[in-house]
A = this chain, B = another copy of it.
Amino acid sequence: MISTRTSQPDVIAALEDAGLRITGQRRQVVAAIERRDVGFSAEDIAGELEGVGRATVYRTLKLLVKADVICKLVLPDGTPMYSPSRLEHHHHSVCTSCGAVEEFRDTTVERVLRSLTREIEGEIVGHRMEVFIRCRSCLDSSSS
C-alpha cells in the first residue's frame, strides 16, 4: 500500500515523462540529493555542486518538487528545507536539532482533515502540516 520510490533512473524517467530535457546539471542535482539523508537547503546543493549555477539548482529543485520527487517544508522559524519524497501521500516530522526528516502517513489525520469541511467555510484546496520533534538520537546525545 505504501509504495516507496526515488532512485536515479526513476527520477530521470519522471523528468523525461514530463517532457523535460535530461541535462548534465539535472543529473548532478538529482545525484546530490540522493547522497543526502537529512533535510537539506538549496544552498547546500549549490555549494556542493561547484559546476552547476545557483539559478539552475533552484530551478531544478522547484522542478523536482513539482514532480513530487522531493518535498519542500518549512521549519518553525520559517526557513525552508528540502527532503526526498518516498511515500505517496504523507506529512513530515522534522527534528529541530539535527534536521532529520521522517515521512508518515496516517489515515486518521487524512480523515480528520477531510472532515474539516464541516467547520471551515469555503472549498478546501490544500493543507500543510508538519510535526516538529527532538529525534531519538538527539535526545540520547543530550541526556549525557
Contact = CB atoms under 8 A, between A and B. Distances in A.
Contact of A134 (B78, B122, B132, B139): B122
A53 interface: no
A129 B113 CA distance: 10
A25 interface: no
Nearest to A76: B126
B106 A116 contact: yes
Contacts of A68: none
A120 B92 CA distance: 9
A117 to B, nearest CB: 10
Pick from A109, A121, A134, A138 the residue with the most CB of B within 10 Å.
A121
8 contacts: A76-B126, A93-B120, A93-B122, A96-B126, A116-B131, A121-B135, A122-B139, A123-B139
Q: Which 3 A-B pairs have the closest CB atoms?
A: A122-B133, A122-B135, A126-B132
